[in-house]
Amino acid sequence: MLEPVPRPSSTLAIRCTRALFSPWSRLSLLVAMLASGAVLVVLYEPQRLLSAGWPAQLSGGAAVVLFGVAYGVCSAAFVPRPLLNLAAGALFGSQAGTVSALAGTVLGAGIAFTLGRVLGQDALRPLLRGRWLRAADSQLSRHGFRSMLAIRLFPGVPFAAANYCAAVSRMGYVPFLLATGLGSIPNTAAYVVAGSRAGSPTSPAFLIAMGFIVLTGAAAAVVAWRKRHGLRGAAGTADRT
């Protein structure tokens, strides 16, 4: 029994569907989305809208939740988290601001991780051929929670870069989000406290928060320097095997 010959129109539709959902098409969509988000951030500066332009009638728990959602979307679109954290402190104070900022941090990281995993991983993983890239990928894939926790505790790697690097690796969602939530607590709280006490820059709370930010920044530089040598050694080992 002869099989039916596919029609040219159906063959064309199949080819178009495959091209549309190919790894490189999805990667192109991701790049276009990220570029659009970056342009919107530069043009409209949403961090200012979240602080100076926040509606006065919004208050209480609903406002904290709404700000957390806006924070997550903005952080996924490359709005600097320190500015968002300062805005959270200025609007809601130390406690509620920290809760809202942490929730937004995890949400923004989850959005970026999902976009990178769905749209970018298949196209980018075959390109991990350099020694440093393979070593970093191996570190994130095999020790995801520990590596991401260190990145969040000592914020030397940009937030968005860490999210998309983790998405391209084989790290799971749960370790990524858990490490992000736990590791972001100290630095986020420090910025929120600084934002809530910005009106009194000589207060002990403001000075302690700023001192913590400076110390963690210095510690991040030291950790990055040590990790660089560790990755170099891991890359050399990978080349010999």
pLDDT over 70 percentage in the chain: 73
Average pLDDT, the chain: 80
Three-state helix/strand/coil letters over the chain: CCCCCCCHHHHHHHHHHHHHCCHHHHHHHHHHHHHHHHHHHHHHCHHHHHHCCCCCCCCHHHHHHHHHHHHHHHHHCCCCHHHHHHHHHHHHHHHHHHHHHHHHHHHHHHHHHHHHHHHHHHHHHHHCCCHHHHHHHHHHHHCHHHHHHHHHHCCCCCHHHHHHHHHHCCCCHHHHHHHHHHHCHHHHHHHHHHHHCCCCCCCHHHHHHHHHHHHHHHHHHHHHHHHHHHHHHHHHHHHHC
Domain extent listing, the chain: 24-240
Name the more confident of 100 and 161: 100
Q: Is the pLDDT of residue 12 over 60?
A: no
Predicted structure pTM score? 0.78
Quick: pLDDT tens for 16-65.
555 555 676 777 877 888 888 888 777 877 777 666 667 766 778 888 99
Looking at residue 126, its pLDDT comes to 62
